[in-house]
Amino acid sequence: MNKNLSHLFEIINKEKRTIIGLMSGTSLDGLDIALCEFSGHGLETKVVVRAFETMAYGSEFKESIKSIFAKRQVDLERVCLLNAFIGSYHADLILNCLQKWGIAPSEVDAIASHGQTIYHAPLSLHQQHNMPNATLQIGDGDRIAVKTGILTLSDFRQKHVAAGGEGAPLAVYGDYLLFSEKGQDRIMLNIGGIANFTFLPGDLNTDRIFSTDVGPGNTLMDAYVQANLPGKYYDANSEIALAGTCSKPLLAALLDHSFFAQGFPKTTGPELFNLSYLANAQKTSNTKGISVQDVLATLNRFSAIGICDAIERTVQKDSYKIFVSGGGMHNPLLLSSIKEILGQDTISDTAELGVLPDAKEAVLFATLANETLVGNGLSFGQNQTRLPSVHMGKISFPE
């Protein structure tokens, strides 16, 4: 038998598998690397996160990605080169991280690589009715496999799109497998560049699981800070927003977009929520002259309203418990607005469930890989989110 395939069977037959999950999101802050140990699959999945690290990206690398990120017109040669470069670069970051942790690559069974989203185009965004939902992540999995010598699963979103989804959010799969709890309705809220949430019903009825993107988390605030405050990357601890006042006319203009009127579930990205979106809202609301502090206070409230409105419109009020993750959970003004609007005294985070909030998305992709390697197939039946019941990820062998 082909040596790669016999190695694959060895991994599948193991009691426990060590899988590295990778995530590099819309904020372009760095590569999240989670070293996970799995046993079981499906609802029996058990994961222990043995180590986690965010390997920060250098400014030159961030600028290269930004030059092609969420843009309709780009230098195609740059896209081609970056697809290869990101694969190699991520492989180097993994090898550095393993060395730091004192773990040999041979101890790792598989890598689960999300890659870098450079364009997300569901039909609702591209509006070309003869074209399908589409999404594009780059950072070639073969490069990661060859350079690290570790079997690599990558490009997870393509199967989701092929099976009728929008390619996102995929968090719902990991949320369902790792965090469902009989007797407790849970909302798993991730506030990354774009915010999304999963509703996990306490009766474990898969038909009632619900998941959607809701609009911007940090992406607009980050983009505005980067464009207006040289040297700053984001509004750390909401310090700037806290010094301002939310502008009602600007807030109303930001909310006046068909995305918010559209039904659920839906997905979005910086292709829509970018500085042109803000400039347009400032123009129509005649608020171009307001201070940087007021703009950030307004953008902060805008994110909070998008998140809460989506939850209120799709999940019965009852007694759900919210578990937050993603960088936006470190934004105190945003969190206090969410609590105020939803009438929640406290919001927990996923650390309470054994997964560090900053590591959650990387753990998610490792979970998807575990399911593809050893799962028996998930069935979401007639789920209201129309979740494709598929295994995701393409397998790259090292040799």
Ligand X SMILES: Nc1ncnc2c1ncn2[C@@H]1O[C@H](COP(=O)(O)OP(=O)(O)OP(=O)(O)O)[C@@H](O)[C@H]1O
Ligand Y SMILES: CC(=O)N[C@H]1[C@@H]2OC[C@@H](O2)[C@@H](O)[C@@H]1O[C@H](C)C(=O)O
User: Does 222 engage in binding with ligand X (CB under 6 A)?
Assistant: yes
26 labelled ligand-binding: yes
The CA distances from residue 123 to 132, 165, 179, in Å, are 6, 11, 30
User: Does 25 engage in binding with ligand Y (CB under 6 A)?
Assistant: yes
287 labelled ligand-binding: no
322 and 187 in contact (C-beta within 8 Å)?
yes
Options 55-63, 129-137, 328-336, 368-376: segment touching ligand X (CB under 6 A): 328-336
Give the DSSP H/E element, type plus range, for residue 114. Answer: strand 110-121
Q: How many residues bind ligand X (CB under 6 A)?
A: 21
Give the DSSP H/E element, type plus range, for residue 187. Answer: strand 186-191
CA distance 155 to 147: 17
226 and 397 in contact (C-beta within 8 Å)?
no
* Spatial CA neighbour of 12 closest among 110, 146, 145: 110
Options 92-100, 286-294, 325-333, 374-382: segment touching ligand X (CB under 6 A): 325-333
User: Does 112 engage in binding with ligand Y (CB under 6 A)?
Assistant: no
76 labelled ligand-binding: no
By CB under 6 A, the residues from 103 to 162 that bind ligand X are none
Exposure of 120 in the CB half-sphere (CA atoms within 13 A): 21
Say which entry of ligand X, ligand Y, none residue 370 contacts (CB below 5 to 8 A, set by partner kind): none
Minimum distance, C-beta of residue 390 to ligand Y, in the bound complex (Å): 14
Options 19-27, 260-268, 304-312, 372-380: segment touching ligand X (CB under 6 A): 19-27
Say which entry of ligand Y, ligand X, none residue 328 contacts (CB below 5 to 8 A, set by partner kind): ligand X
Peptide bond into 265 cis (omega under 30): yes
Place of tokens 């915010």: 195
* DSSP secondary structure, 300-349, as one string: HHHHHHHHHHHHHHHS-STT-EEEEESGGGG-HHHHHHHHHHHT-S--EE
30 labelled ligand-binding: yes
213: helix, strand or coil:
strand
CA distance 101 to 35: 10
Say which entry of ligand X, ligand Y, none residue 170 contacts (CB below 5 to 8 A, set by partner kind): ligand Y
Residue number, 141 or 167, with CB nearest to ligand Y = 167
Question: For ligand Y, which residue of 165, 192, 244, 306 counts as binding (CB under 6 A)?
Answer: 192
* Spatial CA neighbour of 158 closest among 181, 142, 135, 126: 135
Minimum distance, C-beta of residue 222 to ligand Y, in the bound complex (Å): 13
Residue number, 67 or 237, with CB nearest to ligand X = 237
Residue type, 99: Q
28 labelled ligand-binding: yes
210 and 263 in contact (C-beta within 8 Å)?
no
The tokens of 112 are what? 């689960």
CA distance 304 to 179: 24
User: Does 244 engage in binding with ligand Y (CB under 6 A)?
Assistant: no
Options 99-107, 163-171, 276-284, 387-395: segment touching ligand Y (CB under 6 A): 163-171
Residue type, 327: G
User: Does 360 engage in binding with ligand Y (CB under 6 A)?
Assistant: no
User: Does 25 engage in binding with ligand X (CB under 6 A)?
Assistant: yes
Options 43-51, 190-198, 200-208, 366-374: segment touching ligand Y (CB under 6 A): 190-198
User: Does 193 engage in binding with ligand X (CB under 6 A)?
Assistant: yes
| Residues forming the site for ligand X (CB under 6 A) | 25-27, 29, 190, 192-194, 218, 222, 234-238, 326-328, 330-331, 361
Bind-site residues: 25-32
| Residues forming the site for ligand Y (CB under 6 A) | 25-26, 117, 120, 135, 167-171, 192-194, 196, 213, 267, 269, 361
Bind-site residues for ATP: 25-32
